[in-house]
Structures are given as C-alpha cells and as structure tokens.
Chain A
Amino acid sequence: MSAEATFPVRPSNEPLPAAFARLLQGEHAPLADAVTVALEQAALKTGSAAAFLAVLEHDTISDLFCWRAGRASAERTVPADAPDVVDASLAAARTCQPLVDAGRLVVPSLDEHGTRLVAGVMGRDRAYADADLWLLTLVVAHLSRHPGVGGTGATLAREAQLLQTQKLESIGQLAAGIAHEINTPIQFVGDNLHFLKDAYHSLEALLMACREMDPVAGAPPRPSRCVEARRKAGQLDLDYLQAEIPSAIEQSLEGVDRVAKIVRAMKAFSHPDTGERTPVDINAALESTIAVARHEWKYVADLRTEFARNLPHVPCFAGELNQALLNILINAAQAIGEVVGERGPDKGLITVSTRLDGDAVEVRIADTGPGIPESIRRQVFNPFFTTKPVGKGTGQGLAIAHAVVVGKHHGSLTFESAPGEGTRFVIRLPLDPA
C-alpha cells in the first residue's frame, strides 16, 4: 500500500546537519563520488539498508545509482531485491510527489523546469517518518545542484536536447500526416494526367482527320474526308471531354499548388536554428505552422485566421518559435478531438489571431474543445503533465512552448479557459526582448 505524503517545510533557522558539511564541500567532486557520499549519508541517517538515485531524461530513467550497506561506492545497477525501484521513481517523478510505502521512501527533486532526480531509501524495519523525508529532500536537492546533473550549463544543454528531441518527435508525428497530404494530390494529379493523355490521343485522331479534310491551303475540303472526320468525332464523347478536360486540368493545377505549398511550408517551418534572433514575420510563421500541421487539425476542426496587417517583425529564434506555435496548435486540435469524437461529424473551430499590443505582438490560438478544468490549470505547463492516454502525448508540448516563449523570448504564455466552451492560449512576444 502506498500513500502520498506532503513535502515538509524546513524551518529556516535550523542549521544543516553536520554530516552534510562534507557533502557540500564535495560539490565539485565527480558525480559518481558525490552520489556515493550522498546516498551513503542518506542511508546511514535514515537507518536504511540501501539508497538509490535515479537520473531522469524526459520521462525515462537515464541513469540509476544504488548504494548498499557495506559497499564502498554506489553501483549503477538496479537493486535485485527492489525491481520496482524504477516504477516507483517514475511514479514519484510524474506526480511530483514523494512516495512513502511500507519499506521505502522515494523523493523527487523539483526545479522550475520539472523533475530531474529521484532519490530513495529502503530496507528499514520501521516505517519512514517526516524527518526521513526531510533529510532525503535535502540530499536530492543538494545533488540536483551538482554540475554533473543539475548545474546551469548542464541544464541548458539538457533543455536544448529536450527541445531537439521533442522537435524530432513532432516532425515524426507530422511526417505521416504530411505524406498523406502529398499522396492525395499525387493520386489525383496522376489519374488526371493519364486521363488527359488518353483524351489527347482520341482528340489527336480527330484532329488528324480534320487536317486531312483540307490538305492544301485554299483547296476546297474533300467530301470523303469530311465524312471520315465526322465519323471520328462521332466515336468520341465530345461533350464529356469538353466538360471533363478543363476540370481535370484545373484540379491538377490545384493539386500541384497544394504540394508546392506544403513543401514551401515545410521549408519555412524547419527554419535552421542559427542561435541568433532574426526578424520574424509572425503571420508568415503561423501560416507555415498551420500548413505543416494541417493533417492534425483538418479532420476535427475548421481553422480561421484573423491576422493583423502590417505587424512589425519580432526578433525571434525562428525555429524554436515555430515549434512552440506548433505545440499549441496541435494541443488545440487534440482538445477539439476529444469532444468531436463524441459529437460525431460536427467539426470544432480553431481561431488563430494576431495583433499589435503596445510593445508586443500577441498571438491568440483559441479552440472549441472541452476547456481546462480548474483543478489542473496550475499543472498545464509542467513537463510530463498530460491528460492524454499513454502513447498519445508525452506531456512536453506545452512545457516546451512555455520554455521557448517565456524562457527564450522573454514573452508570456497564458491561457483563458471556460469548461465546455474552449481554451484560448495567448502568446505575447516583446518587440524589444532585451
């Protein structure tokens, strides 16, 4: 049986336990040494037989250290007597709550970017108490500041990596949709061209017959040839060809235009990250994002754009901004998908609008989805937080969007939501981000 515990608040005037002096001094020690010291202290102080530390990358465990009584160092192995260490660590990380059960105490470390580390102790004959929770919280907080796991440089590198991974994921997700968007016009353009080829062959026979009627300029048409030309014309369904050829050409041109538009949008969307801000036309960025994600929204929603004209360009990291806009747009489509699936063939509506508001450009992406319940509003931008079933969302889309808009562009990302009516995300990008 497991129970959720609340974080104890450390009284501010209480001195640090002496044992941690050594830990803090060892801040520049290699990660494995720091972990060994920390886990050893955690185990000894709480009277546990073993302690472990899980390092999280996204929502999986990338590294796991285990220290046991009698060992000189922490080993990077899953303890055989506690095969559910991994599950317990992930559970604690996902709920952002410590986990206390019969023989085990597991504490996640939190920072403004989400859970990074999970520490745990186990193998004690009496239940863990608040004092143990407090101690372990201190240990994991200390370790999360270690440059090897939680230092500023590592944090930035990890964020960049997270963004890259998520970008690849979303490109993977989009790829199937884009393939469909391209395969559809390829299908009908190909069919129409075959039809036009056949139609031309038929018409060519008629054309030849017509030319035979008057082989020499100025000479009168030969009656026998005229009969032949009429016979050829009679074999063709000229009314049908006259009606269908122009529309086959028209549809094919539209199809080719659509493919070109998708390819252009992909190129614009996958803007190479130069590491520098470049002036971005926000309306154009939205256009290409909407186009590459078309397959994600078109079955569940109509999309309306209300773009302000003559918006000033905003200094942006274009690639990352597109990613943030994409995440919010896909979120809107998925929100509508939740209710459209129940309602049947009626589509929802996504409205994307832009305007100049003082010294910032404001983008609003509104959906007619189910709205965000009051109870989870504070968690919406938390990494790993998702309401979607396993495999449908990793809970990182909006967290990334938040990191990009707020962290990278010094803008703001907020939302207004009415249950049953929908949600509107508001992105503000300052014209002068300095």
Chain B
Amino acid sequence: MSTVLFVDDVPAITSALKRRLRQEPFRMLEARSAHDALDVVAREPVDVIVSDEVMPGMSGTELLRHLYRTRPDIVGIVLTGQPSVDAAVRAINEGHVYRFLTKPCDPLDLAAAIREALRDRDVLVETRKRMRERAAEVA
C-alpha cells in the first residue's frame, strides 16, 4: 500500500484529513513540522507528501526542495492557507510540486490529487532521473 505523509503545524488539520480520507486506499502518516517530516521520511517509506507552506522553521517549499534533491522518489503537494502568486511560483520552480492546493480544500479534490500523484509517480521519478543525468552530461 502506498504511503502519504501530511505535514502541518496545526495537528487538527492532519487528524481531520486522516478521518476524512480514511477509506482511501493509502496509508496516512502525520508530521508537525518540516523537520519532523524529514525524520519520518528517513525511517519510513513515503510516496507522496502533502505539506502546509507556512510553518515555523522550514517552509513546505523548502522541505520539498530539499527532498527533490535528496529523495527524488517522493512526489510533493503543497496545501496552503496563505496562497500568493509568489508562493506558487516558488513552490513550482523550487519545490517542484506536483500540485499547489489552497485551504480550504475539498478533501475529495485532495484525494484525487493524491491518487493522480501515485499514478504518475513512476513516470515523474523516471523523468527526474533523466533530467538529472542530462544536467550532469551538460555540466
């Protein structure tokens, strides 16, 4: 079964999402901060991360940018309550997110995005690997 990690500094958000999506065919984990998320990723298999953007310490985009380099096998989704064009541009260009979603978000839309992310994951990972190889060749 695939695993989705929800990252949000408000625990009520992640626990409510887990309740709402409990019948979805994936396992769900929670983390309270980007640093917690890195710990989880280090010890558990994770396929998709759904992260809040504005959090104390490291932001969602920073977390996903870091993981894009160290764990290209994880697909990132941002779910933010403070959307802005600037935040979206950074999430896409630096965080390489698969989807940029805003709160309040219908969990069914989120579930659809997660299912699509899981569906496209292999292709995305393969593409990232090739891009990396090409970048290495050019360099």
Contacts and interface: CB of A to CB of B under 8 A. Distances in A.
A194 B81 contact: no
Interface string B1-12: 000000000101
A183 B56 contact: no
Interface residues of A, number: 29
A298 B57 CA distance: 11
B56 A187 contact: no
A284 B40 CA distance: 42
A254 B104 contact: no
A125 to B, nearest CB: 50
Interface string A342-353: 001101000000
B29 interface: no
Given A184-B103, A299-B55, A300-B56, A191 B82 contact: no
Of B20, B58, B105, most A-chain CB atoms within 10 Å: B20
B81 A179 contact: yes
B20 A183 contact: no
A347 B105 CA distance: 29
A247 interface: yes
A192 B21 CA distance: 11
Given A187-B16, A251-B15, A345 B33 contact: yes
A208 interface: no
A255 B12 contact: yes
A177 B107 CA distance: 23
Interface in B71-125: 81-82, 84, 102-105, 107
Nearest to B34: A345
B82 A251 contact: no
Contact of B81 (A183, A298, A347): A183
Contacts of A192: 16, 19-20
A10 B31 CA distance: 68
A200 interface: no
A190 B105 CA distance: 9
A177 B54 CA distance: 10
Contacts of B105: 187
Contact of B103 (A186, A244, A300): A186
A195 interface: yes
Interface string A299-318: 11000000000000000000
B35 interface: yes
B16 A180 contact: no
A188 interface: yes
Contacts of B54: 180, 299
B41 interface: no
A161 B10 CA distance: 39
A344 B57 contact: yes
B13 A187 contact: yes
A188 B16 contact: yes
A19 interface: no
A184 B16 CA distance: 11
- Nearest 6 pairs of A and B residues by beta carbon: A345-B57, A191-B16, A188-B16, A183-B81, A195-B19, A180-B82
26 contacts: A179-B81, A179-B82, A180-B82, A183-B103, A184-B10, A187-B104, A187-B105, A188-B12, A188-B15, A188-B17, A190-B104, A191-B17, A191-B19, A192-B16, A192-B19, A195-B19, A244-B19, A248-B16, A248-B19, A251-B12, A299-B56, A300-B56, A345-B33, A345-B35, A345-B56, A345-B57
Given A187-B105, A248-B19, 13 more contacts: A176-B84, A183-B102, A186-B103, A188-B15, A191-B19, A191-B20, A194-B107, A195-B19, A248-B16, A251-B12, A251-B16, A298-B56, A345-B35
Interface of B: 10, 12-13, 15-17, 19-20, 22, 33, 35, 54-58, 81-82, 84, 102-105, 107
